[in-house]
Structure 1
Amino acid sequence: MAEAKSFSADEARRIGEQIGIAWGSAPFDVEQFRSGMDVELEHGLHDPETNVTNDDAVTTGRIALAHLNEFPDYYTRLEKMEEDAKREHGTA
């Protein structure tokens, strides 16, 4: 598996603008988008079996945007759900 990667707020803002996010009117902020991009790297080089993005920042951003368009706090909810699941399964 490839080395872990993450995006900075500046990178996320720039990528968001590139894919059409209007930050002044978006129902989510740059940090929620940045966090989502980091999460969606699970679809990249991290795991060859699930790699569909090759860590391409724009593709990763589009996946994050799709989720945030469903629920503007998608990644906050995802984090809570994963924490709850770890507790329930005794892996926390």
Structure 2
Amino acid sequence: MTETRRTSIEEARRVGDEIGVDWARFELEQFRKGMDVEFEHGSHDPQTDVTHDDPIVTGKIALAHMKEFPDYYERLERMERDAEREWESKPR
């Protein structure tokens, strides 16, 4: 596995503009975070690679989630922290 890609604000804006993100509805930083999360489904792990590290495909996945809930990635981050705490406390 390779290291997961990181998205700059500039790249997120460029991708968002290209796929038609409504910046009045969605925060650029949330979209950038979303792209970082969705790049986890790229070449980082060949078994689960669905984006092939394509920024446009990755941006579309992030946008799809944000259209469900504009704060999708904030919620995901909280859920993952809670799950990590829960699993750390379980006996192994």
> 2:59 aligned with 1:47, yes or no?
no
Contact 2:4 2:40 in 1 (8 A): no
Structure 1 stretches of 4+ with a deviation exceeding 6 A read: none
Q: 2:59 aligns with which of 61, 64, 67?
A: 61
Provide the secondary structure at the position in 2 that maps to 1:36: helix
Pairing 1:73-92 to 2, within 5 Å after superposition: 73-90=71-88
Instruction: Report the aligned-residue RMSD.
Output: 1.1
> 2:14 aligned with 1:14, yes or no?
yes
Unaligned runs of 5+ in 2: none
Q: TM-score, normalised on structure 1?
A: 0.92
Identity of aligned residues (%): 61
Q: Identify the structure with the greater helix proportion.
A: 2
Q: TM-score, normalised on structure 2?
A: 0.92
The offset of 1:14, in angstroms, is 0.7
